[in-house]
Amino acid sequence: MCRLFGLIANREVNLEFSFLKADLPFKNLSRNNPHGWGIGYYKENFAKIQKEPFPAIQSKKFEEIARNENSKMFISHVRYSTQGEKTFENTHPFIYDNWIFAHNGNIDIRDKLLELLNSKFKNLIKGKTDSEVYFYWLMQNIEDQNDLFNGIKKSISFIQSNKGDRTTGLNFVLINGEKLIALRKALQRSHKYSLYYSNRKPDIMEHMKFQSNETRQLITSKNLKGEEAVLVCSEPLTEDENWIELNNNQLLIVEKNLKLKKWDI
């Protein structure tokens, strides 16, 4: 069972607080998800991913990116492998044009989805995971439908109808430089496929109580800059912020202006 993270902000931010200094730093979630980590973001409007097939908790590179890279959108993943070896190619997130994607769950019909991919997407497959095929299945349907929501709905409906016995979850976080999209879709053991979001606003952050002076200073600095963001994570990262749990079978889309909508799907 992997863990997901996504962020969309009104200005460029880094991940130091959420990944290294929060009540539950995202880095710590790699203790139980030790098979790789990855971070995707935008640099000068171009999608970029960095990843390694070993635990984030052991990675200096993970910490360097969290502290030093700034972007308006991030996506991250710590992996517990179900299909595919612990290799760079099988480590999330995956990238296509300006889209970046990470998945939590197991899909039992990888070969069936692979057969349905057109040659363009089939030729992009580099690893052995169900997640990478799932990503391109989503991309193919979004392009065919020429519509984000209907493309996702078509992709999900097919998997649900043909899921097999060992398909557990379709949770994902997806960004494209304009939107953050998150889905909570557990087909087994829904409590294990949680997904939460929080709207981090400066006026809310002012009243948060932190255990360390270092963290308080960091948030005060962000506050002065007027930073606002929507975060999505498999687990709430802080105790004092308002984390709202997505219902199972719920899709969240956050626009560049941080307006959000939810749909049952």
Per residue in 148-161, pLDDT tens?
Answer: 999 999 999 999 99
Q: For 50-72, how does the pLDDT look when each residue is reduced to its tens digit (9 = 90+)?
A: 999 999 999 999 999 999 999 99
Q: For 111-137, how does the pLDDT look when each residue is reduced to its tens digit (9 = 90+)?
A: 999 999 999 999 999 999 999 999 999
Q: Determine the angle formed by the axes of helices 148-161 and 130-145, rounding to 10 degrees.
A: 130
Nearest to 232 by CA among 244, 223, 220: 244
Q: Check pLDDT > 50 for residue 34.
A: yes
| CATH classification of the domain holding 140 | 3.60.20.10
Nearest to 158 by CA among 177, 176, 143, 138: 138
In the three-class reduction of DSSP (H, G, I as helix; E, B as strand; rest coil), residue 147 is classed as coil
pTM equals 0.92
Question: Burial letters for 120-145: b for 16+ Cβ neighbours within 10 Å, e otherwise?
Answer: ebeeebebebbbbbbbbbbbbbbeee
Per-residue confidence band for 224, with pLDDT thresholds at 50, 70 and 90: very low
Domain range holding 148?
A: 3-264
pLDDT for the residue numbered 202: 64
Q: Check pLDDT > 70 for residue 169.
A: yes
Distances (CA, A) of 12 to 70, 107, 216: 5, 35, 20
217's CB contacts (< 8 A; 6+ apart) are none
In the three-class reduction of DSSP (H, G, I as helix; E, B as strand; rest coil), residue 263 is classed as strand
Residues of the chain above pLDDT 70, percent: 91
pLDDT for the residue numbered 220: 52
Cis check: omega of the bond before 55, within 30 degrees of 0: no
Paired with 127 in beta bridges are none
Q: Check pLDDT > 60 for residue 215.
A: no
If one counts the domains in the chain, the total is 1
